[in-house]
């Protein structure tokens, strides 16, 4: 099982993370504006709500609603 896990991690590093590193600046510059449906959802959450944005990329949703607490992680 450990070998399979190591192989999976190496595959993910090569085919996912390294690709995103190569395209990161372009990707981020074309995805600066929050999607309206997500923005509306976040603005309608109750003050003090807590959220988790897994795969948050450039973090464009983290500051949409300053009255909620969102943790962002991209890796």
Residue 11 is inside which H or E element, if any? helix 2-12
Least confident stretch, 5-19, 33-47, 49-63: 5-19
This prediction has a pTM of 0.70
Q: From CA 60, how far away is CA 42, in angstroms rounded?
A: 12
pLDDT at 3 over 80: no
pLDDT at 1 over 60: no
Q: How many CA within 13 A on the CB side of residue 43?
A: 8
Least confident stretch, 19-33, 34-48, 51-65: 19-33
Angle made by CA atoms 44, 64, 67, in degrees to the nearest 5:
65
Q: From CA 51, how far away is CA 69, in angstroms rounded?
A: 6
Q: Mean pLDDT over residues 29-43, rounded?
A: 92
For residue 18, what are the contacts with CB-CB under 8 A and spacing of at least 6? none
């Amino acid at each position: 099982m450990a070998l399979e896990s190591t192989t999976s991690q190496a595959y993910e590093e090569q085919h996912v993370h390294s690709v995103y590193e190569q395209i990161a600046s372009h990707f981020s510059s074309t995805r600066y504006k929050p999607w309206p449906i997500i923005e509306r959802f976040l603005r309608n959450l109750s003050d003090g709500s807590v959220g988790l944005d897994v795969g948050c990329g450039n973090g464009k949703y983290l500051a949409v609603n300053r009255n909620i607490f969102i943790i962002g992680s991209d890796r």
